[in-house]
Amino acid sequence: MLDAFFNSPYIDSLPTLFQGLKMTVLITLIGLFFGFILGAIVGIARLAKSKLIRGISVVYIEAVRGTPILVQVLFIYYGLTEDLIGLSINALTAAIVAIAINAGAYIAEIVRGAVYSIDKGQSEAGRSLGLTESQTMRYIIWPQAFKRMLPPLGNQFVISLKDTSLFSVIAIGELLYMGKQYYNVTYEIFETLAMVCVLYLMITVPASIYLRRLERKLDV
């Protein structure tokens, strides 16, 4: 029985699928790294006193959240041609930029909500200690807000990880694309896609369990 399982199409597809899984995780982690930086800047900008800065941040958030990530990655890869921007964008770069821009809009709202949820008395306490507005944000508000951001940031990781499956349209070698490449040769469609699902679940299920435990631990 075990010999039959280990010699089955399910197992045979794994070397190819693991290549795609590594690419999926790479795109997700690098994209979210830059997405967090972008989201933190835009999220804080949403709380700025300047109407212009707030307006620019709102336009970015609404434009990104109002369009599908599939359209965004196609626009980046095919729309931003070398003649237009002076740079040649390869599929991997386009995928990472799409994740960063897309996740950044959602992270911006996570950041804004977390910072806004901190009691205003904390800001007043910082001022009473002689801290500037930026110092108050850095040393008092941000550490407390970041704690509240962790669970939704984890959820964004899961969402962005699954979004990478759409990047097969630009022939990036992520998990689903590699699965398609494999079953186009072997015609083992059911077995291959079943293993694709299993590999996604191997990441998303533990991540979801960890996030629930983190929420209970942080009591947020």
36-75 pLDDT per residue, tens: 999 999 999 998 888 999 999 999 999 999 999 999 999 9
pTM for the structure as a whole: 0.88
Whole-angstrom distance, CA of residue 15 vs CA of residue 38: 35
Q: Is the pLDDT of residue 6 over 80?
A: no
The DSSP secondary-structure symbol of 168 reads G
Architecture of domain 12-218 in this structure: Orthogonal Bundle (1.10)
Query: Per residue in 135-144, pLDDT tens?
Result: 788 878 888 8
Beta-carbon contacts of 131 under 8 Å, excluding residues fewer than 6 positions away, are 139, 140
Beta-carbon contacts of 80 under 8 Å, excluding residues fewer than 6 positions away, are 87, 89
Q: Is the pLDDT of residue 2 over 60?
A: no
Whole-angstrom distance, CA of residue 190 vs CA of residue 33: 34
Stated length of the chain: 220
Q: Are the C-beta atoms of residues 53 and 117 closer than 8 Å to each other?
A: no
Whole-angstrom distance, CA of residue 213 vs CA of residue 70: 32
Collapsing DSSP to helix, strand or coil, 125 comes out as: helix
Residue 3 pLDDT grade (very low, low, confident, very high; cuts 50, 70, 90): low
Whole-angstrom distance, CA of residue 162 vs CA of residue 220: 25
Rg (C-alpha) for the chain, rounded Å, is: 21
- Domains of the chain, residue spans: 12-218
pLDDT of 147 reads: 85
Nearest alpha-carbon partner for 24 in 160, 206, 169: 160
Q: Are the C-beta atoms of residues 175 and 196 closer than 8 Å to each other?
A: yes
pLDDT of 7 reads: 63
